Structures are given as structure tokens and as C-alpha cells.
Amino acid sequence: MKKNEVEIVLYGAKNLCPSCLNSPSSKETFEWLEAAIARKFPDRRFIMTYVDIYQPPEEITKQAFAKRVIEEDMFYPVVVIKEKIVGEGNPRLKTIFSELEKLWIKAE
């Protein structure tokens, strides 16, 4: 990752969260969130990563967190920035934007 670049990881699944009826899918939330962040922070660098909790990549930290989402019955999608959960179920932009602003201000 490059300097001042933040990774935003969205953990989700193809199937909707059983407790999240009438919510968008994890993939739809991922696309919506990526577009919203790019609009709000056009001059900032970030990477969006989607992790399927049932088929996580080989990266140990992502596998471990995907397992945690399942074992703890978290509402997904779960949005994580710098190992901090900033959204669960139906994530709120205000919370995510606030966390990103804190990180980018610290990095300057």
C-alpha cells in the first residue's frame, strides 16, 4: 500500500444476512460504498477489498476475521478500516467518513 492509502475491507456473502431482510446485498453495498467514498474524498487514496466470509482469500488476517464474522453471528456486510469495525449490517456513511477523516488527518 502507498503512503496515505487506506484499505477498506467489506466482509460479506452472496446470501443476505438472515437478520438483514430488505437490505442490499453485500456486493451492492460494496459498490455503493466505494462510489460514495470516491465522491466524498476525490483526492484521497483508498483501496476497497471485498471478502466473501465463506470463501476468504489466503491472507491469514482476512481468513481469521471472516471466521469471526461467522462464529460471532455478526450482521454482514461488516466494514473494517485498520482492524476497526466501522459498520455492520447496514453501514452508515457518516461513521465510515468520520473514521476515514481521522486517519487521513493523522497521516498528513
Cell digits for 92?
Answer: 452508515
Q: What is the pTM of this model?
A: 0.90
pLDDT for the residue numbered 5: 82
pLDDT digits (tens, 9 = 90+) for 60-75: 999 999 999 999 999 8
Query: How far apart are the C-alpha atoms of 19 and 6, rounded to whole Å?
Result: 30
Superfamily in which the 6-107 domain is placed by CATH: Hypothetical protein sa0798. (3.40.30.30)
pLDDT for the residue numbered 3: 63
Residue ranges covered by each domain of the chain: 6-107
pLDDT digits (tens, 9 = 90+) for 26-54: 999 999 999 999 999 999 989 999 999 99
